[in-house]
């Protein structure tokens, strides 16, 4: 068992708990918990080891999470469950950069993970902690990506995965994954936030280990995304890291990663962060502008189902990251997200709708002069293009509507065409496209 501890982030609490205790929030003040920082490292030796492990065939070395295990609260690799997650691409996107008003733009694409989203980076550590604790059943509340990831990792570990989801509010592409990976799937007639409150109450009574982002071990796994990004950049710190905001676990994890890597001597400074929320599901944006008390959105609405969350549990960690990095929070409309998604697709890079909020937000922030055209900007794409294929088809055929029923104009439409089985007609059709 690691010598690290669970720390309460409450400003006036500071309680500490053993890392083997099954808790998600502080029992004294109800604040969120986080794992204490890793032990000091020899920077050059660690960088060399992380790079050399890519040549190894050991399961823990083929993982883009466990390859960075010195940053994680595990001393013993016997309990880990891995599906060779991580090792995701960093992609140049000149067309998207031009659309955003930047000289260059990089996409860190987490859709390259085993179940197609960033959730795998956190779930490998969360499921491994469940094994280490001797748990038999794990659960999550999910609108899609978390359920797919948890089901896969729990089944791979020999655990029973139980998924609670809002009835009718999930992409079938994501639900199909959970069903395929053998999860007990319970559809509840309530929204995400209401179900999460219910499950958090039930979990300790039923001996269930909860694997939503309130679990601090999920955050530990997700922070390795930034270690890998820095390695890909030759340890140059980007000026901006931009990501979509739903339950805000990623911004919490990414901020923790940079904070720890700076403290350990790997980097000299922190980047600025920008969190982009869908306009109809933006409680963190409202809090960022107004401060005071955090007000959840009772009925969050967006077609980007991965970020349709009105009461994000990780907002206290997220605002800490935004404040310490001079970051910003922005919103994007359904039209802006849909158009940005189509532009990303034209780069040969597919993503789920929530991911495209990044490009939509960058475009707005660049136009406002917040992000400079020549700055080094990395946008995190959180999920695979096939997570929500219906969205894509409806956009390109002019059938996509906002949750309120307003039509989304397909400004970058690529509608399929019909032709008779006539060689001349098809040749003429191709000629018109060549001229276009």
CATH number of the CATH domain containing 231? 3.40.50.1100
Strand 208-210: give its sheet, edge to edge. 184-188, 160-166, 137-141, 208-210
Nearest to 125 by CA among 87, 174, 193, 71: 71
Specify the pLDDT at position 392: 96
Asked, for residue 419, whether it belongs to a domain, the answer is no
pLDDT at 435: 74
Residue 237, classed as helix, strand or coil, is coil
Q: Count of domains in the chain?
A: 2
The pLDDT score that the predictor gives to residue 169 is 63
| Assigned domain for 312 exists | yes
Range of the domain at 265: 90-116+217-396
105: left (phi over 0), alpha (psi -120 to 50) or beta: beta
Identify whether residues 107 and 1 lie together within a single domain: no
- pLDDT, position 14: 87
284 is a domain residue: yes
User: For residue 41, what are its two tokens?
Assistant: 């490292």
Alpha-carbon span 75 to 277, nearest angstrom: 37
The structure's pTM equals 0.94
Identify any residues that bridge with 184 across adjacent strands, giving them in sequence order.
162
Residue 72 resides in a domain: no
Coil vs helix vs strand at 179: helix
In terms of domains, do 29 and 97 share one?
no
Report pLDDT for 238: 98
Residue 49, judged by CB atoms within 10 A of its CB (0-12, 13-18, 19+), counts as middle
Domain membership of residue 286 (yes or no) is yes
CA 63 distance to own-chain centroid: 18
321 within some domain? yes
In a domain, 159, yes or no: no
Could you give the CA distance from residue 336 to residue 346 in angstroms, rounded to a whole number?
15
Do residues 331 and 252 both lie within one domain? yes
Residue ranges, the chain, pLDDT below 70: 1, 143, 169-171, 436
Helical packing angle, 283-290 and 315-324, nearest 10° = 50
- Domain membership flag for residue 132: no
């Amino acid at each position: 068992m690691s010598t690290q501890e669970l720390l309460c982030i409450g400003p006036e609490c500071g309680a500490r708990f053993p890392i083997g205790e099954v808790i998600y929030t502080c029992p004294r003040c109800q604040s969120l918990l986080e794992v204490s920082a890793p032990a000091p490292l020899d920077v050059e030796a660690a960088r060399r080891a992380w790079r050399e492990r890519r040549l190894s065939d050991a399961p823990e070395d083929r993982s883009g999470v466990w390859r960075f295990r010195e940053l994680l609260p595990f001393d013993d690799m016997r309990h880990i469950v891995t599906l060779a997650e991580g090792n995701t691409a960093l992609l140049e996107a000149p067309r998207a950069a031009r659309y955003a008003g930047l000289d260059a733009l990089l996409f860190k694409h987490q859709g390259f993970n085993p179940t197609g989203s960033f959730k795998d980076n956190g779930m490998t550590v969360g499921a491994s902690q469940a094994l280490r604790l001797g748990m038999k059943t794990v659960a999550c509340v999910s609108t899609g990506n978390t359920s797919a990831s948890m089901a896969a990792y729990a089944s791979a570990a020999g655990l029973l995965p139980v998924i609670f989801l809002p009835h009718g509010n999930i992409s079938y592409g994501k639900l199909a994954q959970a069903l395929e990976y053998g999860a007990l799937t319970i559809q509840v007639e309530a929204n995400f936030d209401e179900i999460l409150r219910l499950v958090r109450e039930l979990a300790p009574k039923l001996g269930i280990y909860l694997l939503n982002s309130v679990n601090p071990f999920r955050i530990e796994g997700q922070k390795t995304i930034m270690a890998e990004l820095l390695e890909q950049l030759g340890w140059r710190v980007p000026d901006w890291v931009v990501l979509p905001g739903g339950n805000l676990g990623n911004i919490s994890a990414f901020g923790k990663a940079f904070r720890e890597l700076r403290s350990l001597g790997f980097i000299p400074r922190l980047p600025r962060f920008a969190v982009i929320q869908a306009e109809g599901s933006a409680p963190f944006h409202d809090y960022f502008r107004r401060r005071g008390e955090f007000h959840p959105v009772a009925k969050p609405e967006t077609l980007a189902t991965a970020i349709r969350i009105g009461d994000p549990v990780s907002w206290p960690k997220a605002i800490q990251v935004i404040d310490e990095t001079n970051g910003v929070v922005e919103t994007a409309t359904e039209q802006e997200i849909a158009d940005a998604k189509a532009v990303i697709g034209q780069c040969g890079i597919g993503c789920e709708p929530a991911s495209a909020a990044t490009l939509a937000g960058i475009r707005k922030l660049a136009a406002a002069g917040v992000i400079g055209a020549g700055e080094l900007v990395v946008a995190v794409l959180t999920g695979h293009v096939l997570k929500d294929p219906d969205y894509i088809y409806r956009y390109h055929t002019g059938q996509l509507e906002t949750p309120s029923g307003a039509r989304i104009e397909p400004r970058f439409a690529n509608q399929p065409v019909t032709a008779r089985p006539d060689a001349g007609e098809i040749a003429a059709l191709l000629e018109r496209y060549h001229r276009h």
